[in-house]
């Protein structure tokens, strides 16, 4: 379990949100799956929904303003000490900005696309550090980039955030590279998958029981693949009622933080 009460170090995945066409339906599904409760934003964030785990923010919903032809995915935001400076680095490294930087309530944010087509955000938290609970059941535990073009992706994020790269001996035969902050902390990875239809950041939530989570997801109107064991725990891929794909994992006690 980890509570976050101040801004995360630069480049740390620090917030996730999801564009939804029906916020009420989203609340029903994710409330049943993760036990979340919900609050509505005010001011510049009016219309946005804050997802709460035991009263602490863990994610958000944004109402969809137009049909999106891209596959539904949770959007990950990386912490930025200075959102404007980080936004300039995105462009300098070969990415593009799609929105902002702009003030949104008590934070400054920007939306961007990397050179391989994966979307992400930048988050200057100020008084809102993002996810206030992580690495416990019902909250964010991991983000990984899946792409058929891992080389340009690794080059981009290394230039943007100063990440160092490590191979993964736990997954022989897979093209997976750990991304580490300059202080050595692992923030996720890049998975080279030639069969991936598009490049995208994938979101994984921690759960206490993967099989039970799959049952709850299906009962609430979603879909799920059969749970699978991995070196890191028992995981499953879930799709919400809007077609948003994400994963859940129950980690062994020795892996939990």
Report domain extents, the chain: 2-133, 137-250
Q: 106 Cβ partners below 8 Å, 6+ apart?
A: 126, 127, 128
Reported CATH class of domain 137-250: alpha beta
Model pLDDT for residues 152-187, shown as the tens digit of each residue: 999 999 999 999 998 776 666 778 999 999 999 999
Percent of the chain with pLDDT over 70: 91
pLDDT at 69: 46
Mode of pairing for the β-strands spanning 200-206 and 175-180? unpaired
What's the half-sphere exposure (Cβ side, CA atoms, 13 Å) at 255?
14
Choice between 166 and 146, residue whose per-residue pLDDT is larger: 146
Pick among 3.40.50.10310, 3.40.50.300, 3.40.50.1370, 3.10.180.10: CATH of 2-133: 3.10.180.10
72 neighbors 203 (Cβ within 8 angstroms): no
Percent of the chain with pLDDT over 90: 81
**pLDDT mean over 129-151:** 97
Q: What share of the chain is helix, strand, coil (3-state, %, to 5)?
A: 20, 40, 40
> Is pLDDT of 41 > 80?
no
Model pLDDT for residues 99-132, shown as the tens digit of each residue: 999 998 889 999 999 999 999 999 999 989 999 9
User: Which 3 state secondary structure label does DSSP give 30?
Assistant: helix
Q: What is the pTM of this model?
A: 0.93
Q: Do domains 2-133 and 137-250 have the same CATH topology?
A: yes
130 neighbors 252 (Cβ within 8 angstroms): no
d(CA 248, CA 222): 13
Q: 200 Cβ partners below 8 Å, 6+ apart?
A: 71, 73, 118, 119, 145, 146, 147
- For residue 18, what is the enclosing H or E element? strand 13-20
Model pLDDT for residues 175-222, shown as the tens digit of each residue: 899 999 999 999 999 999 999 999 999 999 999 999 999 999 999 999
> Is pLDDT of 67 > 80?
no
**Region of 55 on the Ramachandran plot (φ > 0 left; ψ -120 to 50 alpha; else beta):** left
> Is pLDDT of 55 > 90?
yes
d(CA 63, CA 26): 10
């Amino acid at each position: 379990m980890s509570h976050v009460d101040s801004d995360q170090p630069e480049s740390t995945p620090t917030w996730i949100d999801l564009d939804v066409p029906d916020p009420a339906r989203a609340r029903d599904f994710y409330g049943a799956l993760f036990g979340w409760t919900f609050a509505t934003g005010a001011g510049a964030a009016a219309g946005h929904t804050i997802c709460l785990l035991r009263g602490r923010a863990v994610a958000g919903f944004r109402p969809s303003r137009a049909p999106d032809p891209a596959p539904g995915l949770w959007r990950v935001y990386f912490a930025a000490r200075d959102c404007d400076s980080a936004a300039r680095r995105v462009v300098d490294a070969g990415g593009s900005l799609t929105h902002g930087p702009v003030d949104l309530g008590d934070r400054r944010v920007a939306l961007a696309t990397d050179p391989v087509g994966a979307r992400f955000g930048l988050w200057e938290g100020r008084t809102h550090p993002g996810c206030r609970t992580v690495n416990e059941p019902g909250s964010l535990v991991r983000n990984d980039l899946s792409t058929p073009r891992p080389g340009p992706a690794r080059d981009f994020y290394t230039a943007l955030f100063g990440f160092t790269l490590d191979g993964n001996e736990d997954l022989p035969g897979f093209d997976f590279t750990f991304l580490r902050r300059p202080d050595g902390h692992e923030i996720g990875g890049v998975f080279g998958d030639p069969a991936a239809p598009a490049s995208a950041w994938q979101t994984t939530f921690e759960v206490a029981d993967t099989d039970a989570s799959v049952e709850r997801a299906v009962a609430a109107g979603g879909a799920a693949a059969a749970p699978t064991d991995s070196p890191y725990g028992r995981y499953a891929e879930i799709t919400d009622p809007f077609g948003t794909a994400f994963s859940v994992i129950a980690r062994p006690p020795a892996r939990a933080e």
